[in-house]
Amino acid sequence: MKIIVSGAGKVGQTLAAYLGEEKHDVTLIDSSPELIAQVNETLDVSGIVGSGSHPDALERAGAREADMLIAATPIDEINMVACQVAHTIFNIPKKIARIREESYLSPTWSNLFSRDHMPIDMVISPEKAVAHAIMERINAPGSFNIIPLVEGQIKLVSVLCHDDCPLVNTPMKQIYTLFPDLVFKIVAIIRGEEKIVPDHLDQLQPKDEVYFVVAKEHMARAMAAFGHEEKEARRILIVGGGNIGVRLAQELHTRNPSLVIRMIENSPERARYASEKLPGVLVLKGDALSRELLEEANIGYTETVVSVTNHDESNILVSLLAAEYGDPRTIALLSNATYTPMASSLGIDAVVNPRAITVSSILRHVRYGRIKAAVSLRDGFAEVMEVEVPDTATALLYKPLKTLKLPEDTILGAILRKDEVVIAHPDVVLHPSDRVILLTSHKQIKRVEVMFSASLYGSYF
């Protein structure tokens, strides 16, 4: 597939790196010569200097032969014009744009991005996606990361194994024997620098980060099995009154008006804006690293502190300070992925990485075949996919999973069959239209795509 990515920022470079490793023909456009020089030196993609909204730059990038444009610059209007030019002049079939301005995303103007007006096939809103990700973590106390799949019927959850976790030093096979009616399956373990796709002999160890899939109605029981039985928060402090903080407060208040929500924002203008937009929220103006202001915000009685400022270091320090006042759960926005492995030791209970969320939102539109969703884990060490089984996949259908030639480092976690969630144990067989949740290493993605998009795939392997 030939793909043009406009914008060589963190999101653009991450996308280009993933897609280049998968042998797509990727060209990255950016107006910064320094960023393009960096791209050409470090990534297996082409980089050209120019604006993604300019026809000459798109033509130099090969727009006449392109299958997809991903407009991911920080400026909405450039992304929108890039999609318009890609459509009108070059007839690029698929156009994805990152849009951040709330006004553009209002339901009032829902026809703006139609083919007859601004032809954008998929709009990605980072702030909206990040706010939803934080909501999921608030709703599942004890989770380090949580991602809903198949319309929320199945959850992908990560938890940290503390020293007192009941499941440590227990082989996988025995874990499932202990909970025979619990619809969940462990699909990955991160142990320091080691990434493990577990088999039935692997055991959990203290400090492991464990990823599992679980039916939504079994979520609480699965969390309890890992020793996490925290109660859902009723008093929440949000640090940061930017787009993410304001959207999060709005969604929390809409979901449960009885929640006590407070916000701290350092900018007077932004604090005033947040106060106007959030009539049910007490907005305090000032520095959240001030102990006096934290105490004014009733930090000692707060159950969850969510820090979503634009500075990772401030979000980390807020979490550290919060730990001195009782034991609130802390959720931090961390854009720099190098901080994530240190989060637990820094006293942060859950992390949200906006770049990873944005990249995952875009990736599912790049995957082909019957792939409905794709989530990249921890800088791309693996990808979790939601795949529909085609009725032509004769090599997959009605055969026990243990007989299938799955790619290396690939594990099937769960299956949604009509309204029933089935754990993918060795004797389960696949039916047409099953929605399968699987995890695979980055290098095996192409094989998985082929496996679920063709009736015969044996020759590929």
Average pLDDT over residues 281-295: 94
Q: Which structural domain range is residue 317 located in?
A: 235-356
Q: Are residues 311 and 399 in the same domain?
A: no
Q: Are residues 96 and 108 in the same domain?
A: yes
Last residue in a domain, options 124, 151, 180: 124
In this predicted structure, what is the pLDDT of residue 92? Answer: 96
Q: Are residues 348 and 366 in the same domain?
A: no
Q: Are residues 28 and 113 in the same domain?
A: yes
Flag whether pLDDT at 116 surpasses 80.
Answer: no
Per-residue tokens: 44 = 């297996």
Place of tokens 């939803």: 132
Average model confidence (pLDDT) across the chain: 90
Last residue in a domain, options 97, 124, 151: 124
Contact 308, 288 (CB under 8 A): no
Buried/exposed code over 416-450 (b: 16+ C-beta within 10 A; e: otherwise)? beeeebbbbeeebebeeebbbbbbbbbebbbbbbb
Half-sphere exposure of 168 (CA within 13 A, CB side): 14
DSSP string, 424-442: --TT-BB-TT-EEEEEEEG
- In the structure, what pLDDT confidence band is assigned to residue 22 with cuts at 50, 70 and 90? confident
Other Cβ atoms less than 10 A from the Cβ of 74: the count is 12
Per-residue tokens: 89 = 């002049």
In this predicted structure, what is the pLDDT of residue 369? Answer: 59
Please state the domain count of the chain: 3
In this predicted structure, what is the pLDDT of residue 174? Answer: 92
Contact 27, 58 (CB under 8 A): no
In this predicted structure, what is the pLDDT of residue 337? Answer: 82
pLDDT in tens, 118-146: 899 989 988 888 999 999 999 888 898 89
- For residues 311 and 393, which has the higher predicted lDDT (pLDDT)? 311
Percent of the chain with pLDDT over 70: 98
State how far the Cα of 441 lies from the Cα of 383, in Å rounded to an integer. Answer: 6
Average pLDDT over residues 99-123: 83
State how far the Cα of 341 lies from the Cα of 105, in Å rounded to an integer. Answer: 34
Q: Are residues 299 and 382 in the same domain?
A: no
Flag whether pLDDT at 101 surpasses 90.
Answer: no
Q: Are residues 60 and 40 in the same domain?
A: yes
Flag whether pLDDT at 167 surpasses 70.
Answer: yes
Flag whether pLDDT at 297 surpasses 50.
Answer: yes
Other Cβ atoms less than 10 A from the Cβ of 248: the count is 27
Per-residue tokens: 61 = 């990038």
Place of tokens 């023909």: 25
Flag whether pLDDT at 313 surpasses 90.
Answer: yes
In this predicted structure, what is the pLDDT of residue 456? Answer: 46
Average pLDDT over residues 330-358: 88
Residue 379 CA to chain centroid, in angstroms?
A: 11
In this predicted structure, what is the pLDDT of residue 452? Answer: 83
- In the structure, what pLDDT confidence band is assigned to residue 379 with cuts at 50, 70 and 90? low
Contact 385, 373 (CB under 8 A): yes
- In the structure, what pLDDT confidence band is assigned to residue 65 with cuts at 50, 70 and 90? very high
pTM to 2 decimal places = 0.85
Residue 399 CA to chain centroid, in angstroms?
A: 32
Structural domain contains residue 368? yes
Last residue in a domain, options 356, 377, 406: 356
Phi, psi of 209 (to 5 degrees): -100, 120
Question: Residue 121: helix, strand or coil by DSSP?
Answer: coil
Phi, psi of 293 (to 5 degrees): -70, -40
Per-residue tokens: 58 = 């798109």
Average pLDDT over residues 225-229: 91
Residue 44 CA to chain centroid, in angstroms?
A: 24
Structural domain contains residue 188? no
Percent of the chain with pLDDT over 90: 62
Taking alpha carbons only, the member of 338, 345, 303, 340 closest to residue 320 is 345
In this predicted structure, what is the pLDDT of residue 398? Answer: 92
Question: Whole-angstrom distance between the N-terminal and C-terminal Cα of the chain?
Answer: 21
Adjacent-strand bridge partners of 332: 307, 351
Average pLDDT over residues 430-451: 89
In this predicted structure, what is the pLDDT of residue 438? Answer: 94
State how far the Cα of 45 lies from the Cα of 26, in Å rounded to an integer. Answer: 5
pLDDT in tens, 452-461: 875 444 443 4
The radius of gyration computed from the CA coordinates of the chain, to the nearest angstrom, equals 23
Which contacts qualify for 453-458: CB closer than 8 Å, 24 or more apart?
453/368, 453/369, 453/370, 453/390, 454/392, 454/393, 455/390, 455/392, 455/393, 455/394, 455/395, 456/394, 456/395, 457/395, 458/395, 458/405
Contact 31, 375 (CB under 8 A): no
pLDDT in tens, 382-394: 889 999 998 888 8
CATH of the domain at 367: 3.30.70.1450
Q: Are residues 325 and 421 in the same domain?
A: no
From 69-73, 249-253, 334-338, the region with the lowest mean pLDDT: 334-338
Per-residue tokens: 192 = 């320091």
Contact 233, 185 (CB under 8 A): no
Q: Are residues 16 and 117 in the same domain?
A: yes
Flag whether pLDDT at 240 surpasses 50.
Answer: yes
Structural domain contains residue 283? yes
